[in-house]
Amino acid sequence: MARPNPIRVLFLCTGNSCRSQMAEGWARALLADRVEAHSAGTSPQGLNRLAVIAMREAGVDISRHESMSVESLARFEFAWVVTVCDSAREACPVFLATARVIHQSFDDPPRLAHGARSDTEALPHYRRVRDEIKEFVQRLPDVLQGVFP
C-alpha cells in the first residue's frame, strides 16, 4: 500500500549528470511507495549518456530525466537531502537548510573512465557505481531510521 504522503528526498551532486540521476532512478524504482525522489546539481551539466546505458542495463530507464539546477527545485520543501559527491556536500544551498542532510559519497564514473578508449572500457566504472548506489538506496529507509513507519 502506498504511503499517502511520500517523503520528499533530493539527491544532490555537482553536475546532476550521473550519480544523483542514478540515485533518483533507483529511488523511484525501489522506493516509489515511500519516497518522492528528485535530483539536482549545483552546476548542472546534462544527463550522462553512459549513466543512461548503465541504468537501462539494470532495468531502470532514466533517459527522460533532465539535468536540473538546485534553484529550479526551490519551490519544493525537501525532508531530506542526500549529497552524493563531496563537492555538493560543501556547496549545499542555503534554501535547503530546513531539510536534514546526509552525505554518501560515490566515486565519479566519468572521472574513473577518463581515458577509456571506448564505451566498453568505460562502462564497468558506471556499472560499479550504479550497483553501489542501488545498495545505498535499498538501505535508505534504514539510513533514515525513524522516518519510515
Residues with catalytic roles: 13, 85, 92
DSSP string for the chain:
---SSPEEEEEEESSSSSHHHHHHHHHHHHSTTTEEEEEEESS-----HHHHHHHHHTT---TT----BSGGGTTS--SEEEE-SHHHHHT--GGGTTSEEEE-----HHHHTTT-SSHHHHHHHHHHHHHHHHHHHHHHHHHTTTS--
